[in-house]
């Protein structure tokens, strides 16, 4: 029989896989998908600043727009459609109840500057979320306003700097971060005016506590540690580290990106933490939306709480009100404001709906299942892959590229070949402390059947790579996607960052 | 023209009369991969031995280029702006980064010669 | 526990594969002792909905009453197809597009977003979004300092107070000097006279916080003559359908808040920070960027690019520490702009302006009310014969969200106590306006 599976099509479409132009190439001049009434008059108070000329936006009808974005959506991998074991990212199921709640008119359609008497329900919701976060971490205060994880880090480190300043310790200029840290940690410390020094690992994927202790001193402002760390391991000496950090007069920041592994099983107060951000979009399942929005509420110890950013809620006789001004009677020592309005309220609604759905028993079961799933992958995949560290991992399993030695296949090629099998690749080449890292985080919302299929697939790929005569197939993967590997060098050397009308485009070249 | 000298950070420097030319080695460009952007210093900039003098970027990495010796920049290689790939194709030649005058020519003596650099490369690749 | 697929039998099988006896054993490295939590156990959807509905019912929703609130957060109509599209799981539940072969949907929409934002602002390039307008403003000021290698920032008194506060907070440890001029309700501050060669940038807002529209061209010329960058904030991007954009008046960096186009107020967050500039400043720009390229078969495709500016590669030398941005809200912005198109966007802006002019005429006729700015787009300050905060409370009691009292932002400026910001949009009806007119008349009589 003739094989027609690779036939060239006239349209460029291939069955359910459509080629879709840019909106600018679909323009039907003058069309719109939004019918609005004529303005009631043409009196003008623009003071001569009326726009001259057109913007150049394309005009499309509603069916055209709906089809365009529907087709584009179909070119995306998503947690709804498949397994997304992206280490450090906690890609778990996003319940639609949370979306429904965020769209209640009484929650979605309220304005940040309504009189406070008209938004007591919103304040109560935020206060309830704050209670959950404080209870789950054991810390006494939480700043809700940071917009994402890195923004929460900034909140924590700014609070630390404010505390040092208040105590007259402004000669502390150094923040220590482990070499396995997320890039946001050093970037955050730098924005706070600190220089950054790296602490080595101890060979077991954890912080070298002796090296850390040796470096602590009167110039150190803070130590930032991710726990569980980016190798997927619990920093089992966290409390000892905290004690040493405190004894040296510094503060202990914990990066809570991986909080999902330990929710309901340990509190930050037990670990001696002074500040930790919580990525609501990871641990508490608000959707990632192709890159955000997130929210990074930051819990603070008693020592740091007075320096928390505005706004925050204050209980008084009339109910709740918002302290909005750093330096006034409500917030005399606040280090300032990090974000417009009151934080990522829409994300708060979703996260609280998720927490309430699971409850304290469900959250504990969730961290248990997340760690169980990761260890299941670790053990099953060790049959062919090379785990970087021995023993039990937390929520993610770290492998390196030793198993690919002499195969001619790199971590990148191996990961890309997983795409053809219908799986999103794990995080690659991070953390930097092992060679050719593959970091897999399955989360608790995957079934055993999914994990088994994934393991069988990855093991088969590993065996295939090791056969030695298959490198070419890996090197050119993926083959079955809307686009094959993209030329990132060309993109960076000759940046094209926006559409331009054709004549302009040629003129620019 | 003197012999080319090398640093452990994989810069090369070559003195011609009063002016030295500085670039990154072929090994360095091969480690970076496809180079997409180079930022060279402006003429007149004073640079100290070991200080940051230029930046080189590939798609997935960025690294500083350090001054092999102290002195003053006399010219940055403007042609790299539109053609950073020259560093990949000719790191030791047309892909030079900047020219400089030296404040202390004796600093060159502390750098590696070709044989020493070759041995150093063997050592780090082992 | 409807979100957890593992059964007890699965767990048993998996534990024996791993070779441990219980899940708790996997946590042996954690401190011993089981923490207890004063929190409820798992709940059904019905039960969660009851609680959330109770919270919602305690709020006065803008959907239910005449609303004239703005001050950087605006209520516009959201087409039904917009909310449908952003809830498609392939958009909603995808991560940052690090694997371009299976993320072309997100990447192409980011490219469309960057294009639209740059075009609307009349700038050359825009990034894939920031957290919100206020943080984008702070990033712009920091970027201007990197570009000019200067350390002084001058902020106009017409810039949104939250943008000013966030900029001061975020830049406080970078050795920079941020000078914020006093709030300027009548639009008389002299920025040009303050431009000098030591400034990195002047930060302005158009339309201003109190509503004024200003021709930025003379200021831009003065800035450029002194090597100073002009940073312009746009808190109401719908204005760009009718008003000359900052780029056409010489701004070097334009930032803004996209919420008003992207969707509901959502109590102020999440929004989406817009960030646009000139190509020559590209390497100093913060945030993610998407670029066009080709795939192995030569077909057009899109990738994240120039990421060596970003924290995951450059670490402490990055242009910003931002990682997560506001992808989904940027998507909503792009879809709404596509639905509107050139004609719809212009019409939307015209209707907003016409309604605001009508409202200004009606309010200006009330005894004790004075419209402050001569020029405005869809929002303007009014002065009242009484403190505005009490008037707003009084109106709220009559189920009218009548405006934002400026004292909420500037409690220590007594001269602003009677100033109220009032907005009209395409959502504002004649009967809404009449309700406000009669409510205000009563409150002030």
Mention every residue, 6+ apart, whose C-beta is less than 8 A from residue A271: A227, A238, A239, A242, A254, C31
Say if residue C157 is in the same domain as residue C132.
yes
Say if residue C212 is in the same domain as residue C230.
yes
Q: Give me the numbers of helices (H) and strands (E) for chain A, helices first please.
A: 15, 13
Which of A430, A489, A494 is best to mutate for the B interface (most B CBs within 10 A)?
A489
Q: Are C159 and C184 in contact (CB under 8 A)?
A: no
Residue A366 CA to chain centroid, in angstroms?
A: 19
For position C318, what pLDDT does the model report? 85
Q: Give the percent of chain C with pLDDT over 70.
A: 100
Residues of chain A with pLDDT under 50: 505-509
**Residue C251 reports pLDDT greater than 60:** yes
For position A70, what pLDDT does the model report? 98
Hey, are the CB atoms on C308 and B39 less than 8 Å from each other?
A: no
Among C289, C310, C336, where does a domain finish?
C336
**Residue C99 reports pLDDT greater than 60:** yes
Hey, are the CB atoms on A492 and B37 less than 8 Å from each other?
A: yes
Q: Give the Cα separation of B56 and B50 in Å (integer).
A: 16
Q: Let me know if residue C356 belongs to a domain.
A: yes
Say if residue C179 is in the same domain as residue C309.
yes
Q: Give the Cα separation of A326 and C383 in Å (integer).
A: 27
**Residue C206 reports pLDDT greater than 50:** yes
For position C445, what pLDDT does the model report? 87
Nearest Cα of chain B lies from the Cα of C275 at a distance, in angstroms, of 23
How would residue C317 be classed by pLDDT, with cut points 50, 70 and 90?
confident
For position A509, what pLDDT does the model report? 42
> Tens digits of per-residue pLDDT, C120-143?
999 999 999 999 999 999 999 999
Q: What tokens appear for C30 in the block?
A: 């954690």
- The CATH number of whichever domain residue C117 belongs to comes to 3.40.640.10
Say if residue C277 is in the same domain as residue C131.
yes
Residues of chain B with pLDDT under 70: 1-2, 126
Say if residue C267 is in the same domain as residue C147.
yes
CA gyration radius, chain A: 26
Hey, are the CB atoms on A489 and B37 less than 8 Å from each other?
A: no
Q: Which of C3, C329, C343 sits opposite A59 (nearest CB)?
A: C343
> Tens digits of per-residue pLDDT, C29-82?
999 888 999 999 999 999 999 999 999 999 999 999 999 999 999 999 999 999
Residue that has been written with the tokens 């769209």 in this structure: A103
- Is C280 in CB contact (< 8 Å) with chain B? no
Q: Let me know if residue C29 belongs to a domain.
A: no
Q: How many domains does chain C have?
A: 2
Nearest one of B93, C45, C69, C85 to A353, comparing CA atoms: C45
Nearest one of A58, A69, A55 to A31, comparing CA atoms: A58
Q: Let me know if residue C45 belongs to a domain.
A: no
Q: Let me know if residue C44 belongs to a domain.
A: no
Say if residue C261 is in the same domain as residue C403.
no
Q: What tokens appear for A79 in the block?
A: 């947690």
For position A507, what pLDDT does the model report? 45
Say if residue C404 is in the same domain as residue C307.
no
Q: Which chains would you list as touching C if contact means 3+ CB atom pairs under 8 Å?
A: A, B
Say if residue C209 is in the same domain as residue C92.
yes
Nearest Cα of chain C lies from the Cα of B1 at a distance, in angstroms, of 36
Which chain C residue shows the shortest CA-CA distance from B58?
C308
Hey, are the CB atoms on A488 and B59 less than 8 Å from each other?
A: yes
Say if residue C332 is in the same domain as residue C346.
no
Where does A374-499 show beta strands of DSSP type E?
386-387, 397-400, 427-428, 438-440
- The CATH number of whichever domain residue B21 belongs to comes to 2.40.50.100
Say if residue C219 is in the same domain as residue C324.
yes
Please give the residue range of the domain that contains residue C378. 342-444
Please give the residue range of the domain that contains residue B66. 5-125
Q: Are C239 and C72 in contact (CB under 8 A)?
A: no
Q: Let me know if residue C26 belongs to a domain.
A: no
Which chain A residue shows the shortest CA-CA distance from C389?
A115
> Cβ contacts (< 8 Å) between A118 and chain C: which residues?
59-60, 396, 401
For position A508, what pLDDT does the model report? 45
Nearest one of A492, A391, A393 to A441, comparing CA atoms: A393
Hey, are the CB atoms on A489 and B34 less than 8 Å from each other?
A: yes
Nearest Cα of chain B lies from the Cα of C308 at a distance, in angstroms, of 6
Say if residue C239 is in the same domain as residue C352.
no
From chain A residues 485-504, the ones with a CB under 8 A of any chain B CB are 488-489, 492-493
Among C336, C371, C396, where does a domain finish?
C336
Identify the three-state secondary structure at position C115.
helix
Say if residue C303 is in the same domain as residue C365.
no
Tell me the domains of chain A and their CATH numbers.
Answer: 98-354 (3.40.640.10), 364-491 (3.90.1150.10)
- The CATH number of whichever domain residue C365 belongs to comes to 3.90.1150.10
Q: Give the Cα separation of B71 and B74 in Å (integer).
A: 9
């Amino acid at each position: 029989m003739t094989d027609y599976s690779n036939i060239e099509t006239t349209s460029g479409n291939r069955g359910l896989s459509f080629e879709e132009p840019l909106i600018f190439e679909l323009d039907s001049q003058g069309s719109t998908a939004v019918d609005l009434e004529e303005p009631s008059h043409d009196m003008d108070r623009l003071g001569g600043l009326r726009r001259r000329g057109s913007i150049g936006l394309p005009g499309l009808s509603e069916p055209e727009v709906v089809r365009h974005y529907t087709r584009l959506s179909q070119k995306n991998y998503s947690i709804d459609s498949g397994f997304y074991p992206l280490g450090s990212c906690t890609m778990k199921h996003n319940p639609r109840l949370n979306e429904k709640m965020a769209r209640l008119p009484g929650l979605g359609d309220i304005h940040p500057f309504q009189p406070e008497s008209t938004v007591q329900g919103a304040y109560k919701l935020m206060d309830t979320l704050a209670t959950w976060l404080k209870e789950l971490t054991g810390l006494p205060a939480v700043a809700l306003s940071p917009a994402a994880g890195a923004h929460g880090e900034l909140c924590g480190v700014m609070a630390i700097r404010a505390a040092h300043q208040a105590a007259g310790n402004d000669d502390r200029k150094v923040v220590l971060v482990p070499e396995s840290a997320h890039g946001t940690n050093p970037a955050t410390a730098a924005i706070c005016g600190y220089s950054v020094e790296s602490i080595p690992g101890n060979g077991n994927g954890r912080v070298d506590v002796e090296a850390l202790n040796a470096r602590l001193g009167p110039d150190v402002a803070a130590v930032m540690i991710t726990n569980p760390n980016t190798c997927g391991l619990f920093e089992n000496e966290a409390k000892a580290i905290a004690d040493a950090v405190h004894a040296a007069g510094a503060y202990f920041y914990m990066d809570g990106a991986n909080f999902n592994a330990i929710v309901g099983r340990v509190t930050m107060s037990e670990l001696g933490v002074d500040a930790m951000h919580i990525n609501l979009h990871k641990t508490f399942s608000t959707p990632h939306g192709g890159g955000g929005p997130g929210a990074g509420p930051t819990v603070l110890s008693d020592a740091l709480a007075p320096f928390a950013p505005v706004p925050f809620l204050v209980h008084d006789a009339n109910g709740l009100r918002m302290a909005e001004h750093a330096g006034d009677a409500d917030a005399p020592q606040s280090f300032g404001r990090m974000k417009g309005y009151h934080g990522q309220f829409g994300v708060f609604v979703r996260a609280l709906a998720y927490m309430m759905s699971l409850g304290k028993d469900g959250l504990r079961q969730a961290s248990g299942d997340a760690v169980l799933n990761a260890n299941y992958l670790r053990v099953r995949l060790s049959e062919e892959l090379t785990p970087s560290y021995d023993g039990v991992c937390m929520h993610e399993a770290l492998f390196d590229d030793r198993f690919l030695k002499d195969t001619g296949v790199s971590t990148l090629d191996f990961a890309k070949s997983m795409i053809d099998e219908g799986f999103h690749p794990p995080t690659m080449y991070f953390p930097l402390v092992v060679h050719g890292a593959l970091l897999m985080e399955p989360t608790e919302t995957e079934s055993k059947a999914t994990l088994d299929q994934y393991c069988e697939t990855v093991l088969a790929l590993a065996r295939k790579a090791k056969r030695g005569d298959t490198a070419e197939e890996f090197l050119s993967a993926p083959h079955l996607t809307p686009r094959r590997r993209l030329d990132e060098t060309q993109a960076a050397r000759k940046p094209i960052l926006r559409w331009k009308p054709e004549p302009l485009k040629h003129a620019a070249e | 023209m003197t012999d080319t000298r090398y640093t452990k950070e994989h810069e090369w420097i070559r003195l011609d009369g009063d002016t030295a030319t500085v670039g990154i080695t072929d090994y360095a460009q091969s480690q970076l991969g496809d180079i997409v952007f180079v930022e060279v210093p402006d003429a007149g900039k004073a640079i100290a031995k070991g200080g940051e003098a230029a930046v080189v970027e590939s798609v997935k990495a960025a690294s500083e280029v350090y001054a092999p010796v102290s002195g003053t920049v006399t010219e940055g290689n403007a042609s790299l702006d539109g053609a950073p790939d020259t560093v990949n194709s000719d790191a030791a030649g047309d892909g030079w980064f900047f020219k400089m005058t030296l404040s202390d020519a004796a600093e060159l003596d502390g750098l590696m010669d070709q044989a020493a650099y070759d041995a150093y490369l063997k050592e780090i690749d082992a | 526990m409807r979100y957890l697929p593992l059964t007890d039998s699965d767990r048993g099988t998996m534990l024996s594969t791993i070779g441990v006896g219980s899940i708790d054993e996997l946590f042996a490295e954690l401190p011993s002792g089981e923490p207890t939590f004063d929190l409820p156990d798992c709940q059904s959807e019905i039960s969660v909905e009851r609680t959330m509905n109770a919270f919602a019912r305690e709020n006065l929703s803008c959907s239910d009453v005449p609303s004239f609130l703005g001050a950087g957060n605006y209520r516009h109509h959201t087409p039904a197809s917009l909310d449908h599209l952003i809830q498609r799981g392939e958009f909603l539940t995808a991560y940052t597009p690090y694997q371009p072969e299976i993320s072309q949907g997100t990447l192409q929409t980011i490219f469309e977003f960057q294009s639209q934002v740059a075009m609307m602002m009349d700038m050359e390039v825009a990034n894939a979004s920031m957290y919100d307008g206020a943080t984008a403003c702070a990033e712009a000021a920091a970027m201007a300092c990197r570009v000019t290698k200067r350390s002084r920032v001058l902020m106009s008194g017409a810039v949104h107070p939250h943008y000013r506060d966030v900029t001061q907070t975020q830049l406080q440890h970078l050795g920079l000097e941020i000078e914020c001029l006093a709030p300027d309700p009548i639009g008389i501050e002299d920025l040009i006279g303050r431009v000098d060669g030591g400034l990195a940038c002047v930060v302005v807002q158009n339309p201003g916080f109190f509503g004024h529209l200003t021709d930025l061209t003379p200021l831009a010329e003065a800035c450029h003559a002194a090597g100073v960058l002009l940073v312009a904030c746009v808190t109401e991007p719908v204005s760009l359908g009718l008003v000359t954009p900052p780029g056409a008046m010489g701004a070097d960096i334009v930032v803004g808040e996209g919420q008003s186009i992207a969707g509901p107020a959502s109590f102020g967050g999440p929004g989406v920070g817009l960030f646009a500039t000139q190509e020559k400043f590209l390497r100093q720009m913060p945030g993610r960027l998407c670029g066009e390229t080709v795939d192995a078969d030569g077909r057009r495709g899109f990738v994240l690019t120039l990421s060596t500016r970003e924290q995951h590669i450059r670490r402490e030398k990055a242009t910003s520490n931002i990682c997560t941005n506001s992808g989904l809200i940027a998507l909503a912005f792009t879809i709404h702009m596509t639905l509107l198109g050139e004609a719809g966007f212009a019409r939307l802006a015209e209707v907003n302006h016409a309604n605001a002019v009508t409202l200004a005429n009606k309010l200006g006729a009330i005894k004790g009310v004075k419209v402050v700015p001569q020029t405005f787009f869809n929002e303007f300050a009014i002065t009242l014969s009484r403190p505005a905060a009490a008037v707003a409370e009084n109106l709220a009691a009559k189920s009218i969200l009548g405006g934002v009292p400026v004292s909420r932002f500037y409690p220590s400026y007594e001269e602003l106590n009677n100033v109220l910001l009032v907005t009209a949009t395409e959502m504002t009806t004649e009967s809404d306006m009449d309700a406000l007119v009669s409510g205000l008349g009563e409150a002030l009589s």
